[in-house]
A and B are shown apart, each in its own frame.
Chain A
């Protein structure tokens, strides 16, 4: 077999092994950034090498080495792809100078790969691809001493690489915490498996069935605080790339505008894809619009990870919420299952039971977040098939405070002390508009008046928002407090005056305003 045919065979078989394991490797990816693309990046890098080998006509080994090295450099994708390009370069340069390819030449090639890989980083991190290539090279040197056939050596090296991969969590804490092995290292073991299969002439072992399902488009995304990955083409004449870039800049992050004056490709992560499209349509015709919800993709991936890798959650938090911003806050604080309470906050007990059953953990805590929901919550807890503790949170703010103290790795029971402790330190208030004439708690109030509540009791009513909001704040700040959190609801008035007042009267208090989006309560407040 000619050198170029051998190189094509090796690269093709390595690529096939990577492709069959791509998704599993994607899901292992937590380091250096948990963006779930290591398998895809390694596959694309290997594909670039295969394509360049398909195109080459050379018979010279030196030229072949150069072509492979160059293709690896050009097609390197992502961090793992860059490391792979160095590994390929080190191995190719060593093989290029070798005579017959025997066990000693294989060991030398792996040593060359390891040395090249380590050379390109100031502080190598162990427990990564680097460790796996080095340890495999060390195993190769040991095993090659007896001069085994190359196929036999490679078979043993696949085992050595797999054992090295298994050890990566001992070396890198983030892997241990996440309950995974290193993704890049696992990819390297697959590459060796492909190489060994080609040399021994054995078919590639079937990749174990993998249940995960995620589109290729989903994995390129970087972590973003924004929800929608938005891509589209703008077609037109004299398109100004930089002007469009400037318009899109404030909308989000990971912005990319590329192309020429007749067609521009736009990629942006934003919470408002509509605004991004409007800027595009103002300049030309839109094509190939794709909008993907990255938060859902991330959640799906995490779910698969916790399912497939047994990252055990002892307890899940189930919460009743209303309002888009509130929902996001609960998600961010780690509530696993959310039940939409709707404007009136009255989900059925069955909806609560369903949410509890959906939670992947063996136990749950339930946050009703409304006085009127506590009873249905207790009913749901009795009907659920797993142990559930109801935390009788009377408001969304109390629910948030409870979540801050919640730790999903501990049982429901073990969480109670912390949560109740946290609830004791928080006082809550609200500003709403009265829907009728009444005299709650001895406070006369007319329909349409602003009404202030503290811990569920009416304490002030007036026609001016400012007066009522101030009264609520005064009451909340009777005890010394460090932070006031304000959740603004639908139709919340401007808070500028209130902010100025708080700043001058209580300069020691930090004001944190979050968009809650809840109905009926323009302001929900909590003080800690």
Chain B
């Protein structure tokens, strides 16, 4: 409930604690998202989206992850590849719940939305 609007526009998600202000970069959040998503059941890969995500120096852990700041907190978009033969709706729900929970737990930021895009399914053998 901090009055963010009274401050200069900050790009990075910020919140205040009794001991001072904490700024968490979008890159740091993307790392959390990427690592958490890789452990979500059903996720066999992250999808590369757009030219930026495909650049070779992009960190693999954050591939397919976009973090933006919106009015009510952070919005997370992630593009995943899911194992063939799983219930995609349930896998998507679980990813959304797990990623949102983990980001809120680790950053104490409010997560406004987690948009899970299942870009592909693939059959591991």
Listed in ascending order, the chain A residues whose CB lies under 8 Å from chain B are 32-35, 69, 73-74, 76-79, 81-83, 85-86, 89, 119-125, 222-223, 225, 401, 404, 482-483, 485, 499-500, 503, 510-515, 528
Contact = CB atoms under 8 A, between A and B. Distances in A.
Interface of A is mostly: mixed
Which of A73, A78, A121 lies at the interface centre, i.e. has the most chain B CB atoms within 10 A of its CB? A121
Contact of B41 (A73, A74, A82, A512): A82
Given A120-B44, A123-B38, A499-B6, A528 B18 contact: yes
A510 B44 contact: no
Interface string B83-125: 1011100110110011001000000001000000000000011
Contacts of B91: 82
A363 B95 CA distance: 40
Given A222-B97, A514-B1, A76 B86 contact: yes
B19 interface: yes
A33 B100 CA distance: 9
A78 B22 CA distance: 34
B36 to A, nearest CB: 9
A483 B16 contact: yes
Contacts of A69: 85
A73 B42 CA distance: 12
B86 A119 contact: no
A510 B90 CA distance: 41
Greatest chain B CB density within 10 A among A123, A225, A515 is at A123
Given A74-B87, A86-B85, A483-B17, 18 more contacts: A33-B101, A35-B97, A76-B86, A76-B87, A76-B90, A78-B93, A119-B83, A120-B86, A120-B124, A121-B39, A121-B42, A122-B38, A122-B44, A122-B45, A223-B101, A482-B20, A483-B19, A510-B20
Nearest to B5: A499
B7 to A, nearest CB: 8
24 contacts: A32-B40, A33-B98, A73-B85, A76-B87, A79-B41, A82-B91, A86-B83, A120-B42, A120-B44, A121-B39, A121-B44, A121-B83, A122-B38, A123-B38, A123-B39, A482-B19, A483-B18, A485-B18, A499-B6, A503-B6, A510-B2, A513-B3, A528-B18, A528-B19
Contacts of A83: 41
Interface residues of B, number: 33
| Shortest Cβ-Cβ A-B pairs, 5 listed | A120-B83, A79-B94, A76-B87, A32-B98, A123-B38
A514 B94 CA distance: 32
Interface string B62-78: 00000000000000000
A512 to B, nearest CB: 5
Given A510-B21, A515-B1, A32 B94 contact: yes
A86 B40 CA distance: 14
A223 B42 CA distance: 22
A203 to B, nearest CB: 33
B53 interface: no
Contacts of B125: 119
A85 B124 contact: no
Contact of A122 (B21, B43, B98): B43
A499 B2 CA distance: 11
A82 B44 contact: no
Contacts of A79: 40-41, 90, 94, 98
Nearest to A484: B16
A513 B20 contact: no
Contacts of A33: 97-98, 101
B2 A513 contact: yes
